[in-house]
Amino acid sequence: MEVRDKRRLGEQIEPGGRPKAPGRLELLQRFVNSYNHDFPREWDRIGTPDRAKAWLRQKRLVAPGDRVSDADVARLRELREAIRALAIANQRGQPEAAATDVIRTLSATAQLGVAIDDTGRTALEPTRGGVDGAVATLVGILHEAQLTGHWLRLKGCRRCGYAFFDRSKNRSAAWCAMSICGNRTKNRAYYRRRRTSER
């Protein structure tokens, strides 16, 4: 894969060319995939206040005048890794307590209210603006996806941590893409076996 394409992974390009998550869960998927530990630190789409602001603006998670500080970047990244840990736990069961603690703590200042429109449709909306509102929206999407059951299909790849949406019938997909991570993992197992048999 070319560098130009790698830089678009998780935003314009899905790892493995999988279809993206449905509805608003796509936004949470993009948030988790705003960085991947395989790539240079500077590629983090929310890695600095300016980059985070641009990303949040693009997703309409903050308003034009909203400020994003270094502390906001830190809590957004903390939230991202905690949600990634939850997505990885969708493969293996219970998430680490540290991850749920982070989300619990960050949600305390990021509150949601039930909004109702003229047709009677309700929606969870943040009660504050700025990064508090963005955090609330993201946690609200996590909640919604758990209600619809879609959440269990958003998985963190066992190897690279990319969040991918598992559309397989029995929810058995374990890697973001067999062509990237699945094969890498299988190759490693193959070389391990070969080394063992050569001894």
Residue 88 Cβ, how far from Zn ion at the closest point, in Å?
11
Residue 87 Cβ, how far from Zn ion at the closest point, in Å?
12
Specify the length of the chain in residues: 199
Report CA torsion sign: 43, 22, 161, 146.
positive
CA gyration radius, the chain: 18
Nearest 5°: the CA angle 81, 84, 88 is 140
Interface residues toward Zn ion, by CB under 5 A: 157, 159-160, 162, 176, 181
Tokens of 104: 């619990």
Q: Say whether 181 sits in a helix, a strand or coil.
A: helix
CA 156 to chain centre: 8
What values do phi and psi take at 156, rounded to 5?
Answer: -90, 130
Smaller CB distance to Zn ion: residue 139 or 181?
Answer: 181
Smaller CB distance to Zn ion: residue 46 or 176?
Answer: 176
Smaller CB distance to Zn ion: residue 51 or 158?
Answer: 158
**Residue 87 CB partners (closer than 8 Å, separation 6+):** 32, 154, 155, 156, 163
**Exposure string over 8-22, b if 16+ CB within 10 A, otherwise e:** ebbeeebbbeeeebe
Most distant CA pair in the chain, distance: 73
Smaller CB distance to Zn ion: residue 128 or 184?
Answer: 184
Smaller CB distance to Zn ion: residue 110 or 181?
Answer: 181
Smaller CB distance to Zn ion: residue 126 or 182?
Answer: 182
Residue 180 Cβ, how far from Zn ion at the closest point, in Å?
6
Residue 11 Cβ, how far from Zn ion at the closest point, in Å?
16
Q: Which amino acid is at 120?
A: G
Residue 37 Cβ, how far from Zn ion at the closest point, in Å?
11
Residue 147 Cβ, how far from Zn ion at the closest point, in Å?
27
